[in-house]
Structure 1
Amino acid sequence: MLTALTAPGAPFAVVRGEDGGLLYADGPRTLREFVEATWAFGDRPFLVAASGTYTYREFFAASSALARRFVEEYGLRPGDRAVIGMRNHPEWQIAFWAAQLAGLVAVPLNAWWTEDEFEYALDDCSPRVLLVDGERLPRVEAWRKRAGVRAVVFHHELHRELHHDGGTGEGGTAEGVERYEDLPAADPLAAPPAVEVRAEDDATIIYTSGTTGRPKGAVATQLAQAGAAVHPRFHAAASALARGVMPGQGPAPVALMTFPFFHVAAFTTLYSTMAAGGTLVLMRKWDAEQALALIERHRVTHFSGVPATALQLLDAAERAGDGLETLTHLSTGGAAAPPDLVGRLTARYGQRIEPRNGYGLTETSGGVLANFGADYREHPGSVGRAAPATEVRIAGPHGRELPEGQVGELLLRGQSLVRGYWNDPAATAAAFHEGWFRTGDLATVHEGRVSIVDRLRDMVVRGGENVYCVEVEAVLHDHPDVADAAVLGVPHPVLGEEVAAVVQLRPGASVTVDELRAHAGRTLAAFKVPAHVLVQDEPVPRNPTGKILKRELRGPVREWLLKNA
C-alpha cells in the first residue's frame, strides 16, 4: 500500500545522497522554499492566540518585513545567528521564519532557562541579534550589553508589568533594543530579502535538553530541516491510506499546540500543520481545563503534546463529561508514552480519535518514527516505523548490527540528522560515525516496527540481569491509583544495583507499597520488581517535553533509603 507513496516518481520517493544516506527525491531543499509555499494559503488562519490571530498572508508579510530589516537595517548576513527566546507567542513564529527568509541561523532557546543558562548558550553560539519577549529581556540584557548585540523585544508590555518602568525609566527601552510594536507596518506586497539560501547552509542550532549535563547545540542544515518538514507529511499520508482515505482530502487540520516552540517536538506538529494550510491554536501555558475550552471554541481536530498532558486532557474530559467531539487525532511525543494511554483513549472514544505516537530527537530535527491508528492500538509499546528518508539499525556493544528481535542501541541515518554539535568536535565524533547517529536508546525491531526499551545509561543491571526502566514504569502506570512513576537503579553491595521506583499517586488513592509491588510481580519477573518504592505527593520531575529528570531523583531516593535502612 505504501508503495503508492514511496515508489519512484511518487511524492515520497527517496534517493541516495553523496554520504550514503537517504534523501527525498522531490521535496523542498531549504526552509525558505518550504515557507514560501505557504503564502498560497492566503487568508486562512494560521496562528490563533489570546493576543490575536495571524492569517498566512499576514504572517508571511510580517516575517518578510522583519527579514528585510535584519538585512537592510541591521546588516546581518547568511550564517549569522539569531537567538529566539520567548513563550509560544504568534510572534515566535514570525521571528523564526524571518531568520530563515534572511538566511540566518535560528537558535531557539529554552524560555524557562535562568539568566545563567541563557548566558551559557549565548556565549556558546555568539548571536548577532536577540529576538526575545518582555519576560525574557531581563535574562539576556546583561549579556547583550557586554556583547553589544541588538535586540528586538516582542510583547514589551510583559517587561513593564514585571519591572514597572521597563528597566530604563519611563517605560522605555535601552540603546540597541527595538520594540516590535514600534516597527513600521508590514507591506503585504513586499517580497523577502534577496539573499541566497543553499541546502548545505546551517538553518538551526537547537540545544539538547541537558538531562545528563550541559546542553549541546545540535546544528541542522537547511536540507536536514527540509527533510524534517517532509516526515510528518508522509506519516499523515500513510495514516490516511490505512484508514481508506485519499491523502490530502478533507478540511485542513486545527491543531492545539502544547509543545514549547523551542523544542523539536513542536517542529513536527508545526511542519505538518503548515504544509496542509492548517491552524495552530496556542496556549500561554498548559492547563487541561483551558485546553478543553479551546478545543471546543476553535473546533480543534488534532491534539499534540507530551504523554503527561494527553493523560491530563483525558482526565479533565472525563471529569467534565466532555466528548471531545471535534477531535480526530491525539498525538504524543517528547517522552515515552505509557501503553495504557491508547487503551484509555479507545475504551472511551472507540475508533473515532486516532492515536499517534512516535520518536524523534534534537539530533533528528524532530520525529522520524511514527505509530498510528490500528497498528498503534495493536502494538501500544512501539514507537512505529521510520519515515522513508530515515534508516534504522540496531547495534551491539562493538557496533555490530544485531539480528531482528535482539536488544541493542538504536542507530539512525537519514536526511533530517543534524551535522553535529556546535563548537564541540569531540561530542560530534562520539555520536556520529559514517553517517549513523548513536541515539543512546536501547531498542528492538520487529517487522520494521521499533520499540524503545530504555535509555542506555538508565538500564539497571541487577546481579547480571538487565532491567529496562521503561518496562517497569509502564507496569506501574497500569495501576489505576498511579498518576506517574519513575524507575532507577540504586547501589547494592552484592547485586551491584537494585531496582527502585518513585511513584506519585492519584488524589485520594490508598494503595500501599506492598500492593504496588504485588501488582508489578503479576507481570514482571521477580528480579524486575522494585525492591524499594518511594510514594510521594509531588510530581515526578520532568523536563519541558516530559522526559524524567532522574538526576533530580537520585539524591532524594538515596536520602530516603538511608533513613529507612
Structure 2
Amino acid sequence: MSTDLLPPNWPAMSVAQANAALAGPGSPLELEDAVIRGVPMKVYKNAPPNIPVILDLAAEQFPDRTYLVYQNERVTFSALQLAVRKLAAEMRDTYGIKKGDRVAIVMRNYPQWPLGFYAALSLGAIATPMNSWWTAEELEYGLSFAGVKLAIMDLQIYERFRDHLDKLPELKNVLIARDTTEEIADPRVSSLDAIVGHPNDWEDLPDAGPTGVEIGPDDDATIMYTSGTTGKPKGALATHRAVITNMFNSSACQARMFLRKGEPVPAPDPDAMRATLISIPFFHATGSFAILIPSALRGDKVVAMYKWDAGEALPIIEGEKISAVGGVPAIAWQILEHPDRDKYNLSSIQAISYGGAPSAPELVSTIKKRFPEAAPGNGWGMTETCATATLNIGEDYVNRPSSAGAPPAAVELKICDPDGNDMPAGEVGELWCKSAANCRQYWNRPDATAETFRNGWVVTGDLARIDEEGFLYLVDRAKDMLIRGGENVYCIEVESALYDHPAVMDAAVVGIAHKILGEEVGAVVQLKPGKAASEAELRAHVAGQLAAFKVPVEIQFQDEPLPRNANGKILKAELRQRFKARA
C-alpha cells in the first residue's frame, strides 16, 4: 500500500455506496432489471440499442473530428460513416450479405479494419474478426468453423491464405484491402479499394444512406475467437447488448474513482480532445470492445501503428497528443524505462492502463511518480466477458496494486469450489462472473458452452480470491498452476515476487518436468534496460518472500521481450520447451 500517494480523507465512500449511487435513478449509468435468455440481469437503462448507432451518433455529433489515424492516413467520424454506408450497400447488393451471415475481418490495425467491422454490423451480420498472425491453416479453420460467407483481408494475408480458398465452399467472396494494381484472377476475389477508395478520400464518398436493418440489443453481433494458446480456438458469440454493456461497465468503474475521492463525476465534455495509442490488435476483444467502440461513443481518436515499438511510439505520443496508452504491463514498462523518454513531451498522457498479465506493484507507483496527473489502471476480463469486467483505477489501484479491482454494480463475481459451491471471502477458488456483458455461447460448441456458460455465469478457469470489500485478486489460470511434489504453486505469485525486484521488467513462470516431484519451478526473465541481476540474486529475492518450494530452481534471461501471442498472453508452452526435464 502506497499511502503517501493517496489524497487525505480517502476514500470518501465505500465501493458499495459508490456503485449504488452510480446505478441509481437519474444517473447516466442507471441500472434496471431485465431478463436475458431466461436469466434475471441488471442492464444499463441508457445504453444504445446496438453498435452501429454509436458510430452514427458520433458522426452526427463530431463529424469533422478525427477518429482513426494510421501513419499519414486520417479518417474523421463522418468520413468513416460514409465509407461504412457505401461498403454495406455493396455487401448487401453485390455479395448478398444479410442479417446473421458471418463476415470475417482479417488484417492489421489499418483503417479498413473498423470499416469492415462496422459495415458488417450495420447489416445485422455477425462480424467475425480473426487473428492476423494466424497461419494459412489456422485461417482456414477459423473461416470454415464459423461458416464465413465474405472475408475482408489485406493483400499480405490473402497471399498467405490464397491456396486454401478452394477448400472453403461456404466462403463465397473475398475483398482485398490495401491492394495493388496487380490483377487477381480468382472471380471470387475483388478489391475493397475499388469500392471505397483510399482512406483519406472517404470524406468525398456519396452518402448511400443507412441500411434500414432493424437490430435489437440481443441480436448476435460478433464471433471473437479465443486466443487458443492450447488446442483449437473457440468462437465466443456476443450480442450487441453484451459488447455495449462492457463499455458501460468500464465507465462505471472510472466514475467510481471520482466518488471515492469525494468529487462529483465530471460531465462529458464534448470539446475534450482525447486520443488512445492502440498497442493491441483490433481483433482482440480489448482492442475493439474496450478501445475502438468506446472511443466512438466519446468522440475520441484512435492511433494505430504497424507494430508496437516503444521507441517509435514516443514521437507519436508527442505529435498526436496521446492521452491514453497501455495494453499489457510490459508495454507500460517499455515506455517508462525507454532511454529516449525524456526527449519527448509526454505530458498529454492522462491514463496508463493494462491487463492480461500480472504486474509489479512497483509499476503503479512508478507511473504516479513520473506522470503525477495520469490515472494508472489495471483490470480483469476475458473474451467470454467481452473484455473488461473489473477495473482498478486511480487511488484504488495505488491502495491495492496487486488487485484487478472491484466490479461495478452490473457485474457479479463469486469464488467457487470444484463442485460450484460458493466460497467465503479470502478463500482461493475458481472465479465465476455474471453480467449482461457475457457472451451467450461458443459458436457450434455445445459441449464447451455447457461447461463455461451456466445460467448467466461464465466459469472462467481463473483461480482467484475476493476480499471483504469485493476487490478481486487473481491467483493463476487453473491450467497454468503447477504442482510440485503435491504442493500447488501459483505462477502469478512467483511472477509477482520476481516483478518486485527493481531490475525485472517482464517475467514468466513455468513448470519444469521432474521425475520424482512431477514439476519444479522455472522462470524466464527480461531485465530493464541498463539494469543487472544474477540468477542467484533473483532466487534469493524470491526466497525472501515465498516458501522454498516456490523458488525457481532455474532462471533463464533474455534481452528481447518474452514471446506473446497477438492478444498479449505469454506463450508459456514455448517457454517450457527451453527447460530440460530434471531427475
TM-score normalised by the shorter chain: which range applies?
Answer: over 0.9
Which residues of 2 match residues 320-359 of structure 1 at below 5 A? 320-322=342-344, 324-349=346-371, 351-359=372-380
Asked if the contact 2:333/2:505 (under 8 Å) is kept, the reply is no
Asked if the contact 1:255/1:300 (under 8 Å) is kept, the reply is yes
Report the equivalent of 1:163.
Answer: none
- 2:17 matched to 1:6? no
- Whole-Å separation in 2 of the counterparts to 1:242 and 1:252: 25
- 2:69 matched to 1:28? no
Flag the 1:321–1:485 CA change in 2: closer, same or farther, 3 A: same
Report the equivalent of 2:9.
Answer: none
Picking from 485, 489, 492, the partner of 2:511 is: 489
Which residues of 2 match residues 60-99 of structure 1 at below 5 A? 60-99=81-120
After superposition, what is the alpha-carbon deviation per residue over 1:258-286, rounded to whole angstroms, capped at 9, x for unaligned?
Answer: 11010011120223221111111111111
Report the equivalent of 2:177.
Answer: 154
Count of paired positions: 549
Asked if the contact 1:218/1:418 (under 8 Å) is kept, the reply is yes
Asked if the contact 1:304/1:331 (under 8 Å) is kept, the reply is yes
Picking from 557, 563, 571, the partner of 1:549 is: 571
- 2:318 matched to 1:296? yes
Asked if the contact 1:47/1:281 (under 8 Å) is kept, the reply is yes
- Whole-Å separation in 2 of the counterparts to 1:496 and 1:421: 34
AA of the residue aligned to 1:312: Q
- What is the CA-CA distance between 1:549 and the residue it aligns to? 1.5
- Whole-Å separation in 1 of the counterparts to 2:542 and 2:332: 24
- Whole-Å separation in 2 of the counterparts to 1:314 and 1:141: 42
- Per the alignment, in what secondary structure is the counterpart of residue 484 of structure 1? strand
After the TM superposition, which of the residue ranges 64-73 and 370-379 deviates more from structure 2?
64-73
Asked if the contact 1:57/1:188 (under 8 Å) is kept, the reply is no
- Whole-Å separation in 1 of the counterparts to 2:337 and 2:556: 24
Report the equivalent of 2:236.
Answer: 218
After superposition, what is the alpha-carbon deviation per residue over 1:390-447, rounded to whole angstroms, capped at 9, x for unaligned?
Answer: 2111111211101111111110011111111111111111112222111111111111
- Whole-Å separation in 2 of the counterparts to 1:120 and 1:28: 34
Flag the 1:385–1:400 CA change in 2: closer, same or farther, 3 A: same
- What is the CA-CA distance between 1:127 and the residue it aligns to? 0.9
Report the equivalent of 1:38.
Answer: 58
After superposition, what is the alpha-carbon deviation per residue over 1:272-301, rounded to whole angstroms, capped at 9, x for unaligned?
Answer: 221111111111111111111001001111
- What is the CA-CA distance between 1:325 and the residue it aligns to? 1.1
- What is the CA-CA distance between 1:188 and the residue it aligns to? 4.9
Report the equivalent of 2:217.
Answer: 199
Asked if the contact 1:236/1:247 (under 8 Å) is kept, the reply is no
Report the equivalent of 1:176.
Answer: 188
- What is the CA-CA distance between 1:463 and the residue it aligns to? 3.5
AA of the residue aligned to 1:341: L
Flag the 1:261–1:463 CA change in 2: closer, same or farther, 3 A: same
Report the equivalent of 2:139.
Answer: 118
Report the equivalent of 1:363.
Answer: 384
- 2:125 matched to 1:104? yes
Asked if the contact 2:318/2:344 (under 8 Å) is kept, the reply is no
Percentage of identical aligned residues = 39
- Per the alignment, in what secondary structure is the counterpart of residue 443 of structure 1? strand
- What is the CA-CA distance between 1:339 and the residue it aligns to? 2.4
Report the equivalent of 2:440.
Answer: 419
- Per the alignment, in what secondary structure is the counterpart of residue 473 of structure 2? strand
- Whole-Å separation in 2 of the counterparts to 1:323 and 1:388: 38
Report the equivalent of 1:228.
Answer: 246
- Whole-Å separation in 2 of the counterparts to 1:487 and 1:176: 47
- Whole-Å separation in 1 of the counterparts to 2:152 and 2:106: 6
- Whole-Å separation in 2 of the counterparts to 1:139 and 1:388: 46
- 2:471 matched to 1:453? no
Report the equivalent of 2:73.
Answer: 52
Picking from 292, 309, 315, the partner of 1:287 is: 309
Asked if the contact 1:13/1:388 (under 8 Å) is kept, the reply is no
Name the TM-score, length of structure 1 as normaliser: 0.92
Structure 2 segments unaligned to the other structure (5+ residues) = 1-17
- 2:294 matched to 1:272? yes
AA of the residue aligned to 2:30: A
Flag the 1:155–1:229 CA change in 2: closer, same or farther, 3 A: same
- Per the alignment, in what secondary structure is the counterpart of residue 21 of structure 1? strand
- Whole-Å separation in 2 of the counterparts to 1:32 and 1:251: 23
Asked if the contact 2:513/2:519 (under 8 Å) is kept, the reply is yes
- What is the CA-CA distance between 1:152 and the residue it aligns to? 1.4
- Whole-Å separation in 2 of the counterparts to 1:538 and 1:355: 25
- Per the alignment, in what secondary structure is the counterpart of residue 260 of structure 1? coil
Flag the 1:336–1:492 CA change in 2: closer, same or farther, 3 A: same
AA of the residue aligned to 1:517: R
After superposition, what is the alpha-carbon deviation per residue over 1:147-192, rounded to whole angstroms, capped at 9, x for unaligned?
Answer: 26212111113xx7xxxxx4xxxx4453222212212676454322
- Per the alignment, in what secondary structure is the counterpart of residue 40 of structure 2? coil
- 2:524 matched to 1:502? yes
Flag the 1:307–1:263 CA change in 2: closer, same or farther, 3 A: same
Flag the 1:322–1:195 CA change in 2: closer, same or farther, 3 A: same
Structure 1 segments unaligned to the other structure (5+ residues) = 161-165
AA of the residue aligned to 1:531: V
After superposition, what is the alpha-carbon deviation per residue over 1:195-244, rounded to whole angstroms, capped at 9, x for unaligned?
Answer: 12222321100100011221111111122122123223323333344563
Please provide the CA RMSD for this pair: 2.1
- What is the CA-CA distance between 1:6 and the residue it aligns to? 0.9
- 2:538 matched to 1:516? yes
- Per the alignment, in what secondary structure is the counterpart of residue 271 of structure 1? helix
Asked if the contact 1:67/1:193 (under 8 Å) is kept, the reply is yes
Flag the 1:491–1:184 CA change in 2: closer, same or farther, 3 A: closer
AA of the residue aligned to 1:206: M
Which residues of 2 match residues 393-472 of structure 1 at below 5 A? 393-446=414-467, 447-472=469-494
Picking from 140, 144, 148, the partner of 1:127 is: 148
Report the equivalent of 2:496.
Answer: 474
Asked if the contact 1:265/1:334 (under 8 Å) is kept, the reply is no
After superposition, what is the alpha-carbon deviation per residue over 1:26-71, rounded to whole angstroms, capped at 9, x for unaligned?
Answer: 2123212333222222111111111411111101111111111111
- Whole-Å separation in 2 of the counterparts to 1:306 and 1:537: 18
Asked if the contact 2:250/2:390 (under 8 Å) is kept, the reply is no
Asked if the contact 2:102/2:125 (under 8 Å) is kept, the reply is yes
